[in-house]
Amino acid sequence: MSAWAREYIVLGAAIVVVVAAVVAGLMVLGSPAEERMRRLDEKRLQDLNSLTYMANTYWTANGRLPASLDEMMPDSSVNPYSRDPNTGQPYGYRPIGDKMYELCADFQHEADNPPPDAFNRIWSHGVGRRCFQLEAKRSNQ
């Protein structure tokens, strides 16, 4: 076998190894689009958690729940917590009792085996629209 044939075989083998590594990485880590969906869902959960804190603060200060996100945050058009990070649409909110309310968001990815702590149990979700019923609690202002 000539030297140039061996060089082509080595080059071909190296290309196969690199392609296999990239494919394996995508299979383990997921595609960039899937990672983006996961990060957007994480942002949605952070936003809902912030809205919960704001609802608790409002309830503590006013003795009632706000009728809408706009009442809870008068400048909700610029508040980063009040709108979906991908669509820009407001999150769903509605009071359903004196202390009970509902927050809703549209998720793109199912929660991946969240750790069993209180935060993740509350915010466990699948794909699509998910509404969470929550109870207002006294906040430490």
**141 within some domain:** no
For CA atoms 132, 134, 140, 141, the dihedral sign is positive
**38 within some domain:** yes
Q: What does the DSSP assignment read for 22-40?
A: HHHHHHHH--HHHHHHHHH
Q: What is the pLDDT of residue 110?
A: 82
Domain shared by 63 and 2, yes or no: no
Boundaries of domain holding 54: 34-135
Of 5-14, 70-79, 112-121, minimum mean pLDDT range = 112-121
Domain shared by 42 and 104, yes or no: yes
**140 within some domain:** no
Domain shared by 18 and 80, yes or no: no
pLDDT band per the 50, 70, 90 thresholds, residue 113: low
> What are the structure tokens assigned to 58, written together?
């409002």
Burial class (CB in 10 A: 0-12, 13-18, 19+), 105: buried
**102 within some domain:** yes
- Domain total for the chain? 2
Q: Residues 125, 119: contact at Cβ < 8 Å?
A: no
Domain shared by 17 and 44, yes or no: no
Which residue in the block uniquely carries the two structure tokens 């997921």? 30
**Residue-wise pLDDT tens digits, 25-49:** 666 666 778 888 889 999 999 999 9
Please, which residues have CB within 8 angstroms of residue 81's CB and are 6 or more apart in sequence?
A: 47, 50, 51, 54, 73
